Amino acid sequence: MPAPDLFSRVWEYISQTGASWWGGIAVLVAVERYIERFFPTWWKVNVDPLITPSRRRNMLFAFAGLAFVYGNFCAFDYERAAKEEAIAKVAKPILDPAELYQASVPVASVTEPQTNVPANMLSFPVVTASRPLDMSKEFEFRDWKLLCSGKELGSMSFGAMRQINYGDFVCRIQGTI
């Protein structure tokens, strides 16, 4: 691992954990010292007999340990959230709004989709594919999963290239991707 990369990773770790860890300890020590300094009589009568300086030192070490664990958890939680967000962005494919997909692979181009929201249906006047469509599998269109049916109108071949047109292509929206 190159030295600059290691340095930047250590610095990022310190910046994530440092605020919780060192900030908590500084506040605790400062509060103790201010109370002891501004109310010395009350401190000697009420606090010193119950919590001796050695006990306070042990409590400070315990608090430092808790602050360290909390700071590490905050850093871990931040990294976990960033990782989940990155995975979610990668996991959801960006679909062309003028294409039908099956298993995230474009299989046909569509024109002028008509949406019937109350019936949960989509219809396309013409769908054009380069190979016969498997109507038994789900299609993906924009953010929807669809089950579709349509009748083949005809096909045209241009050398090795083939176009199959489907008419009255009607799809039921099954859910979202």
Which residues, in sequence order, are CB contacts of 134 under 8 Å at separation 6+? Answer: 102
Instruction: List the chain residues with pLDDT less than 50.
Output: none
Residue 27: the pLDDT is 80
Residue 4: the pLDDT is 67
Residue 93: the pLDDT is 65
Residues 7-36 have pLDDT tens digits of 777 777 777 676 667 777 778 788 888 888
Which residues, in sequence order, are CB contacts of 124 under 8 Å at separation 6+? Answer: 110, 111, 112, 113, 114, 150, 169, 171
The span from the CA of 45 to the CA of 123, in Å, is: 84
110 close to 99: Cβ distance less than 8 angstroms: yes
Residue 155: the pLDDT is 86
The span from the CA of 164 to the CA of 154, in Å, is: 6
Phi and psi of 5, rounded to 5°? Answer: -65, -45
**Helix-helix angle 3-38:53-91, to 10 degrees:** 140
> How open is the CA angle 96-88-91, to the nearest 5 degrees?
50
72 close to 19: Cβ distance less than 8 angstroms: no
Residue 137: the pLDDT is 92
The span from the CA of 23 to the CA of 114, in Å, is: 59
Which residues, in sequence order, are CB contacts of 60 under 8 Å at separation 6+? Answer: 25, 28, 29
